[in-house]
Structure 1
């Protein structure tokens, strides 16, 4: 997923507890801040909100699908 104008530079801080994930992404060069929350399992999904200068400038949902499906265990 890309945040704010498809900028790819910045920093990511976050934590996961069980399947819950919270990420705080600071996007450069405009110093906007995007907060991703959601659930991770074999896939992932959740919501995000991006702020710039104290105002919401973007929000939506995200979904993650692994590149390769998990191998079934026997």
Structure 2
């Protein structure tokens, strides 16, 4: 694993959703491989495979094609 500051993933404990006002770090600087950012709407919290299985499965299928 590369050394460096930890990824800053802010969350809002009031609704367990990722905070949209938290500035995203530069993913290209942190992740040496291919990267794709996705936003899943609909009140999804911290358990994406259970709360949005279709979106999770599609992300895995798409990542397999990188």
The structure with the greater share of residues assigned to helix is: 2
Structure possessing the higher relative contact order (Cα contacts under 8 Å, 6 or more residues apart): 2
TM-score by length of 2: 0.26
TM-score by length of 1: 0.25
Greater C-alpha radius of gyration: 1
